[in-house]
Amino acid sequence: MSLFVVRHQHSANRCPAADFETGAGLLNHLSKTNARRHGVRIRGDAVLAAHTLLIIAEADSEDVLHEFLRPFEAAGTVSVESASTCAQVVAGGGCEGIAPALDPAVPALDPEEACEEALDAGLVVHRAHPLNCETPLTALMGGVVMPNARFYIRNHFQMPNLDSATWRLEVSGLVERPLSLNLAQLRALPSQSAVVTLECAGNGRAGFEPRVPGEQWGVGAVSTAEWTGVPLTEVLERAGVQRAARNVVFRGTDSGEVEARDGSVHFERSLSIDELTTSGALLAYAMNGEQLPVHHGYPLRLVVPSWYAVASVKWLTQIELIDRPFDGHFQIDRYHIDGEPLRLLQVRALIIEPRAAQPVEPGPVVIRGVAWSGAAPIEQVELSINGASWQLATLIGEQRRHSWQWWERVVRLDSIDGDAVIRARATDLAGRTQPDHPSWNRLGYANNAVPEVHVTVRSPVVSADPRQTQDADR
């Protein structure tokens, strides 16, 4: 449907609202229920001064809209202009831009609707199409898992909206028994659940100096969920891996054109046969106990615990075993540092409370945050205030390798009046510690530098005691 802005004007002596029956009739005509009967969707309306009404509406064509607007034309003048939503404008790169076209060969979510859903859920939208959103820091504080609607979203192409009735997972290449599995057959296989933190490799890219190209993520491109599905090894055992196989390629349905490659490419990544045995990878069809959302790969996605989320291919349709290194775009052109494909998550801590620029009172202040690492569980988190010595925080809950770890510490800010800089650093059981500064690379990946949060310490304003004022006047 196309979007239009309607402007209706009438003279003061012909104001429909002056007559109860006429006004009520137009009000009922303008109702969303009645509009739908005429093939029109009302997005909003407003009455301005000088007897002017504005309507934002959607319709298949301007003719359909004019037919619906006949009662308003009888009461005055009507002008109709084509319009765009903010999401369409952002997706098109400007007010005169055109949003990237969707591939008609693959059913896909409407970019505008998907963007609006993300905004309604409270996500921070970086790009409308392909949709890329991060979770706000305030939402990271809470339970072990992130609600599905607030889990960060990372895409490179349009988001496929696949029909589970016709969808198949094809396992081919160097296998003894090629497989073609539907969703019911997958669900019938032995399953397991795992709480896993996924982080975009570009999380924190905005912190690199000099600036690097790419999505300028803050630090919210990370979330945790409980994933349920079939262990990858279970499916590969049924297919029978041939001795010559060296790598396993995972191919998603999402595709598009990319720089330096001819034609359309799919989103693809690979794992080596050796990495599979220890990865704990899941073919996930559920997220936090619910059906896997379309935004996160329905009907099936790969989840590789402790690896950067680029390995966790969404909308998975093909698994191919090959006898050579994989040279796909997202393996060798992107998601690598100096030619080495990204794998395990770097050790990292974030400060969630207090928030940046938040005023705090002198005295005890609770500092809370979250930490994670791909190599091993978090061993410790330390805090430093204004460059003072590091103090150990308390880890909350059991130590896990594959999901984030909550921590907190109460510190006293009695001696500070003005700005305070809070720093946090994590160390994992593999001995890896966050660096003071990010390790710059031209694609802007794996920034795990020690975070800093600047707050303002202000003494509370104490009102004078009225009784003391009276005594002073005597």
Determine, yes or no, domain membership for 89.
Answer: no
76 and 163 in a common domain: no
392 and 274 in a common domain: no
Determine, yes or no, domain membership for 294.
Answer: yes
Tell me the β-bridge partners of 453. 422
The single-letter DSSP state of residue 330 is I
End residue of a domain, out of 341, 367, 382: 341
What six digits make up the tokens of 13?
Answer: 């002596």
Total structural domains within the chain? 3
332 and 428 in a common domain: no
205 and 330 in a common domain: yes
191 and 69 in a common domain: no
Determine, yes or no, domain membership for 465.
Answer: no
Contact present, 133 and 152 (Cβ < 8 Å):
yes
172 and 24 in a common domain: no
258 and 400 in a common domain: no
Distances (CA, A) of 383 to 340, 368, 422: 32, 10, 7
404-437 pLDDT tens trace: 999 999 999 888 888 899 999 999 999 999 999 9
Determine, yes or no, domain membership for 125.
Answer: no
Determine, yes or no, domain membership for 464.
Answer: no
Residue spans of the chain under pLDDT 70 = 90-101, 460-474
End residue of a domain, out of 83, 113, 148: 83
Q: Which domain holds residue 410?
A: 348-457
Collapse the DSSP code of 77 into the 3-class scheme (helix H, G, I; strand E, B; otherwise coil) and give the result. Answer: strand
369 and 310 in a common domain: no
Contact present, 443 and 337 (Cβ < 8 Å):
yes
204 and 155 in a common domain: yes
Predicted TM-score of the model (pTM): 0.85
Determine, yes or no, domain membership for 100.
Answer: no
Cα–Cα distance, 171 to 16 (Å, whole number): 67
145-199 pLDDT tens trace: 999 999 999 999 999 999 999 999 999 999 999 999 999 999 999 999 999 999 9
181 and 255 in a common domain: yes
Assign residue 414 the CATH number of its domain. Answer: 2.60.40.650
Cα–Cα distance, 151 to 34 (Å, whole number): 37
158 and 279 in a common domain: yes
| pLDDT computed for residue 473 by the predictor | 45
311 and 245 in a common domain: yes
| pLDDT computed for residue 132 by the predictor | 96
Determine, yes or no, domain membership for 199.
Answer: yes
